[in-house]
Structure 1
Amino acid sequence: MDTSHLFTAALRLQSPWKVGSVDFRDADGGRQELHIMIGFEPGARFHCPETGCREDACPVHDRRERVWRHLDFFRCKAFIHAVMPRVTCPEHGVRTVPAPWAGPGGGFTLLFEAWAVEMARHLPAGTLAGQLDETDTRLWRSVARYVDEARRLEGYMGVEAVDKAGKTEGRSDPLPKRTKYLWLRNGESLTELQVETKRNLTGQRLKTGRACRMREVPQDICTDSRTPSEAWVRLHRPCSWMMHSRLEPMKDFARMIRRHFAEIVAYFGHPYANAVLEGADGVIRNVKRRARGFRDMDHSATMIYLTCGRLDLKAVTTT
């Protein structure tokens, strides 16, 4: 198999496309670049590129040369050159045939863009541009296009934030010392020994034990209530209990629940908490710190969706 046939197979070109020649050329700094020339068979006809058109044997009208950056060949930059045909369609007139190895207007092949988008998840655009010897503007444009396409394929739903509150450990009594996490953790996360210790301390009429029970009642309501109206009725009782207690931290907790009562009750109609947002916020802060800031808000939004959006990028980068 000669070089042209080898690269035709490697690029998965289908008839009438084929590799005409492959050669290395000298570049700046004593480096070499790989240039792949792609053409099509003489007399070839093409499908009209207009969506829905059934014309599949349109003759070539003229040709225009284009160049795309491809994945590096070992440590050499690689480029694909092709004379792209424009065809004459009886219904739509003259139209340019799209390159099967590249997207519209990017200047990069699909394989190069897919790799660059994946690397952009982990590297600042400036660092990635330096490693690829490309401008960050071109990379941003490519990454943003794929992120936008992936976003259009996703369905997003609103997230209602629900405030979480803890309780304050009593410090005046030495008995509950070093038992902080017995009260902060839920029962299923405690060992048998910790459960037994917590049960014994609860029977000692400790302020911490009372505060813990006050915390657990709203938690049970959040777990068991099925409708906003049920939660509305059940939440009033523990709030009254806390407000009539002599535990100031729990009174503050009850006041907070009352301030956000409408939002908390709305949660039972749309059960989405802000835990995911808290985690995403940490990722976003890391992305901003890693990039030393962004040029504009569009770049910032692109990186947020790329790193936190759980986008199905394979759906838009798979060739």
Structure 2
Amino acid sequence: MIETLFTQALGLVAPWQVDQVIFTPEEGRIDFQVTFSAAVHACPACRTAAQPLHDRLARSWRHLDFFQYEAHLHAAVPRVACAVCDKVTQIPVPWAREGSRFTLLFEALTLMLAPTMSVLAAGRLLRVRSRRLWRVIEHHVNKARAKESHAEVRAIGVDETASKRGQTYITVFHDLDKPRLLFATPGRDKATLGMFATDLTEHGGQPSAITHVSMDMSGSFQAGAAEHFPEAEVCFDRFHVVALGSTALDEVRRAEVKSEPELKGTRWSLHKKPADWTIKQTQTMHWLQRSNLKTARAWRIKEALRAIYATAKTPDEAKPLLKRWLSWACRCRLEPFKRLGRTITKHLPGVLNGFESGKHNGRVEAMNRALQEALARARGYRRVDNFIAMAYLIAGKLIHLPVSPFVPFRPVPHETT
């Protein structure tokens, strides 16, 4: 019988079974009526066996599409009247979580689609309002995060990323040893590190066990790290240090381009690696290097700083190279680089710590790019909580999410009484 076929296809086991299939092609849907054939059941509250059914309440759930047709499950779900705990409790159905109007497989499909397209686009594909899909995402992300263990976290990377256009940011905390997003919160101030310390403790970690904190030279981050992770070595991220060199180079070029119009259009050439130059950019840079312009000198200083990170593998190897570079920067007569030299000198211990193997934000930057790509796909998020939930889904490497609906189905025997 077709009802038996669909009972097996839906993974149902006794006493649940498909009793009726209603196909209405003109409405583009197929409906499955599921029945519960037993007269008694264990109490869901206290697990006392063989309790009588009290009544049945009609419920409906959206399921995965059947070919091109919407599929819906309907069931009169029994409630058990327990003589032991004196409660009337609804029996949980095996195909959906309590309170949801989607089946678990439908929710699993939602979680598969959301990281690869905007939730609005996923809603159009599934023919469901995006607001309902966001509730599914937030429920499963929060549930999965609650089960995550951070007990072995020792090295963290701290960075900020934009959540909206303008000055709206979230601070993200990554595990540097097992690249994953640990925590994200609105803001980019000292308080965000306190929030992370609290969240770390709630997930079995210990702030005192953190040995390295990789970050930029933000005063707020430094103050937060000193207060909440006093045992950790602060490592100023190499990418941010080189970025400060690029910023100083930009200042020199912008000041000089007013008197040297030949510098117009050279910005991207100055920032790219020589191996990535186009033919035109190579010609431009060869001309620049033969000139006596301040920008040429600034570019050489910036490239020398980048070369230190390409050459030195340990703090001991980096220290003499940085000392030599700092001497050059302080004598170069270019105010932006003299200022950068003073900044690096002030933070030299943390800069040297950044040369320790793996103690940098390289993977953090890669994850942040993935988050910004998701932000671009969605054309922004109305709520910062939505962006944070998507960040966990994309970069959190959560292991307690529902399994894909496309793996071979293995029904779990349902308890009978």
Give the TM-score taking structure 2 as reference length.
0.55
Which residue of 1 is the match for residue 379 of structure 2? 289
Distance 1:299 1:236, change over 3 A: same
Alpha-carbon distance between aligned partners in 2 of 1:3 and 1:243, rounded to the nearest angstrom: 83
Which residue of 2 is the match for residue 33 of structure 1? 29
Displacement of 1:118: 2.9
Whether the 8 Å CA contact 1:45–1:58 is kept in 2: the answer is yes
Which residue of 2 is the match for residue 120 of structure 1? 114
Displacement of 1:8: 0.8
What SS does structure 2 have at the residue aligned with 1:104? coil
Whether the 8 Å CA contact 1:70–1:111 is kept in 2: the answer is yes
Which residue of 2 is the match for residue 267 of structure 1? 354
Q: Deviations over 1:206-245 (max 9, x none)?
A: 9778656543543354356566687567534311221112
Alpha-carbon distance between aligned partners in 2 of 1:99 and 1:124, rounded to the nearest angstrom: 27
Q: Deviations over 1:24-69 (max 9, x none)?
A: 359xxx62532212223335645x656xx8x5x7224324332111
Alpha-carbon distance between aligned partners in 2 of 1:39 and 1:212, rounded to the nearest angstrom: 75
1:302 maps to which of 383, 389, 395: 389
Q: Deviations over 1:94-148 (max 9, x none)?
A: 54432211122111001111222333331343x5445544444322211211222
Q: Deviations over 1:10-31 (max 9, x none)?
A: 11112332212111359xxx62
The one-letter amino acid of 2:71's match is: A
Residues 194-209 of structure 1 aligned to structure 2 (within 5 Å): none
Range with greater deviation from structure 2 (253-262 or 157-166): 253-262
Range with greater deviation from structure 2 (248-257 or 106-115): 248-257
Which residue of 1 is the match for residue 62 of structure 2? 69
Residues 155-174 of structure 1 aligned to structure 2 (within 5 Å): 157-159=156-158, 160-161=215-216, 162=237, 163=240, 164=243, 165-166=245-246, 167=249
Which residue of 1 is the match for residue 401 of structure 2? 315
- Does the alignment pair 1:238 with 2:325? yes
Which residue of 2 is the match for residue 13 of structure 1? 12
Alpha-carbon distance between aligned partners in 1 of 2:144 and 2:373, rounded to the nearest angstrom: 20
- Does the alignment pair 1:279 with 2:279? no
Distance 1:228 1:149, change over 3 A: farther
Whether the 8 Å CA contact 1:102–1:110 is kept in 2: the answer is yes
Alpha-carbon distance between aligned partners in 1 of 2:141 and 2:336, rounded to the nearest angstrom: 46
Which runs of no fewer than 5 residues in structure 2 stay unpaired?
159-214, 217-236, 406-417
Whether the 8 Å CA contact 1:58–1:88 is kept in 2: the answer is no
The one-letter amino acid of 2:60's match is: V
Distance 1:85 1:261, change over 3 A: farther
Whether the 8 Å CA contact 2:62–2:103 is kept in 1: the answer is yes
Displacement of 1:78: 2.0
Whether the 8 Å CA contact 1:60–1:85 is kept in 2: the answer is no
Identical positions, percent: 30
Distance 1:110 1:279, change over 3 A: same
Distance 1:272 1:133, change over 3 A: closer
1:102 maps to which of 66, 73, 96: 96
What SS does structure 2 have at the residue aligned with 1:5? helix
Q: Deviations over 1:185-221 (max 9, x none)?
A: 5577799xxx9xx99x989999778656543543354
Alpha-carbon distance between aligned partners in 2 of 1:129 and 1:185, rounded to the nearest angstrom: 40
Displacement of 1:312: 4.0
Whether the 8 Å CA contact 2:367–2:395 is kept in 1: the answer is no
Alpha-carbon distance between aligned partners in 2 of 1:101 and 1:279, rounded to the nearest angstrom: 36
Which runs of no fewer than 5 residues in structure 1 stay unpaired?
none
Alpha-carbon distance between aligned partners in 2 of 1:255 and 1:246, rounded to the nearest angstrom: 13
> Larger relative contact order (C-alpha < 8 A, sep ≥ 6)?
2
Distance 1:256 1:61, change over 3 A: farther
Alpha-carbon distance between aligned partners in 2 of 1:88 and 1:230, rounded to the nearest angstrom: 74
- Select the structure of larger CA radius of gyration: 1
The one-letter amino acid of 1:19's match is: V
Alpha-carbon distance between aligned partners in 2 of 1:286 and 1:3, rounded to the nearest angstrom: 46
